[in-house]
């Protein structure tokens, strides 16, 4: 005898279950469990609508027992399980499509005691056949089905989803009615192009860019080239010193800078000394230092070393003077000997 007191689910209150006894769904001749067929233990987990903030509620699982014949199908077993927990095909609908279970309202798992089949997904006729084959191997075939109801959405969530769908539909309609791109070009402002001579054009010079924004500077009519040498391209520099316009630009930029910026002092003398070897290495056309002045003429050299007149007459025509005479004479004498 089933004794159950049920309170309203909408009040988010719990079930109180009494004693649970057996229930035979199909009375057919069977060779298992003394003719009672397969023994099913149902564990049903119901879901409540989403709770309000700081609201607590708990729904205990509903436990039921029933028997079905071993020749029953998956649809018959699920229909019996849903009916015995107090639901119907409207609250927990399902269907079998291509031997697969299709439903969005609940999920089913099965467990066969004293086997490795623990909470296996029951989602097709093949899974149901595997469950029956494992159950009938036992002396008293039994299986535990755990049915979990899917989470219910609150009314506010449903309304939010509906509003989102309607907003997306309106956006798609607006995109279809969007004017062509050619209509947008009518609102463009035409800016006249002022021609400029190449000598007066400058690119990538931040000082000149800031100077062009100053009051009294006319970019449309630049000064003549002799007054704007600082902004000339590098390849057109004449080698002269920058004129007053460069100094004016530096002073205006310095006046616009914040006085709170940190000052940086660079020791240019030390940098010049440390950079000297690098500069020498990077320039291959460094001019050689002049030769040292001669400290001894050829005749004085021959007289000092008391050379014979024959040797003097051979060395004087060479017109060689300087400190390298001795090395040259040693080489000449070594070759001649």
Q: How confident is the model over 29-41, as pLDDT tens digits? A: 777 777 778 888 8
Angstrom distance (rounded) from CA 288 to CA 24: 117
Residue 150 near residue 106 (C-beta atoms within 8 A): yes
Distances (CA, A) of 268 to 3, 273, 276: 100, 9, 12
* Residue 306: per-residue pLDDT: 76
Tracing tokens 């000449």 back to the chain, one arrives at 332
* Residue 154: per-residue pLDDT: 53
Torsion of CA 156, 92, 64, 70, to 10 degrees: -160
Angstrom distance (rounded) from CA 275 to CA 265: 18
Angstrom distance (rounded) from CA 129 to CA 299: 127
Question: DSSP class of residue 65?
Answer: E
Which tokens sit at 185?
């070009």
* Residue 35: per-residue pLDDT: 73
Residue 22 near residue 140 (C-beta atoms within 8 A): no
* Lowest mean pLDDT segment, chosen from 2-11, 178-187, 206-215: 2-11
Q: How confident is the model over 12-56, as pLDDT tens digits? A: 333 333 334 444 444 457 777 777 788 888 888 887 767 667 777
Confidence band of 150 (pLDDT split at 50, 70, 90): confident
Residue 145 has pLDDT above 80, yes or no: yes
- Percent of the chain exceeding pLDDT 70 equals 42
Query: Residue 158: which residues within 8 A CB-CB, separation 6 or more?
Result: none
* Residue 2: per-residue pLDDT: 36
Torsion of CA 93, 96, 100, 104, to 10 degrees: -20
Distances (CA, A) of 166 to 39, 161, 169: 50, 9, 5
CA nearest 85: which of 102, 71, 105, 64? 64
Q: At what angle do helices 74-84 and 125-136 cross, to 10 degrees?
A: 80
* Residue 24: per-residue pLDDT: 44
Higher pLDDT, 219 or 109: 109
Torsion of CA 205, 210, 215, 216, to 10 degrees: -10
Higher pLDDT, 316 or 135: 135
């Amino acid at each position: 005898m089933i004794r159950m007191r049920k309170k309203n689910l909408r009040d988010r209150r719990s079930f109180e279950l009494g004693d649970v006894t057996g229930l035979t769904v199909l009375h057919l001749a069977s060779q298992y469990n003394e003719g009672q067929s397969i023994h099913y233990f149902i564990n049903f987990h119901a879901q409540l609508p989403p709770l309000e903030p700081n609201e607590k509620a708990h729904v205990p699982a509903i436990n039921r027992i029933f028997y079905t014949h071993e020749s029953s199908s998956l649809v018959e077993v699920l229909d019996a399980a849903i009916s015995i927990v107090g639901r119907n095909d409207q609250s927990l609908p399902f269907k079998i499509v291509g031997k697969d279970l299709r439903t969005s309202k609940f999920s089913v798992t099965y467990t066969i005691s004293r086997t490795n089949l623990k909470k296996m997904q029951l989602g097709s006729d093949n899974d149901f056949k595997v469950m029956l084959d494992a159950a009938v191997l036992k002396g008293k075939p039994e299986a535990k089905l755990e049915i979990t109801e899917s989470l219910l959405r609150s009314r506010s969530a449903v309304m939010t989803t509906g509003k989102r769908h309607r907003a997306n539909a309106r956006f798609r309609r607006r995109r279809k009615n969007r004017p062509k791109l050619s209509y947008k070009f009518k609102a463009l402002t035409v800016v006249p192009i002022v021609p400029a001579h190449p000598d007066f054009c400058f690119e990538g010079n931040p000082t000149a860019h800031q100077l062009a924004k100053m009051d009294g500077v006319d970019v449309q009519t630049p000064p003549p080239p002799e007054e704007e040498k600082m902004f000339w391209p590098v390849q057109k520099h004449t080698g002269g010193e920058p004129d007053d316009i460069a100094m004016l630009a530096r002073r205006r930029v310095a006046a616009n800078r914040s006085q709170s910026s940190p000052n940086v002092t660079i020791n240019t003398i030390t940098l010049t000394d440390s950079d000297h070897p690098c500069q020498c290495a990077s320039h291959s056309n460094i001019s050689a230092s002049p030769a040292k002045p001669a400290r001894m003429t050829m005749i004085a050299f021959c007289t000092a070393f008391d050379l014979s007149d024959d040797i003097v007459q051979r060395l004087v025509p060479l017109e060689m003077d300087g400190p390298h005479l001795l090395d040259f004479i040693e080489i000449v004498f070594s070759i001649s000997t």
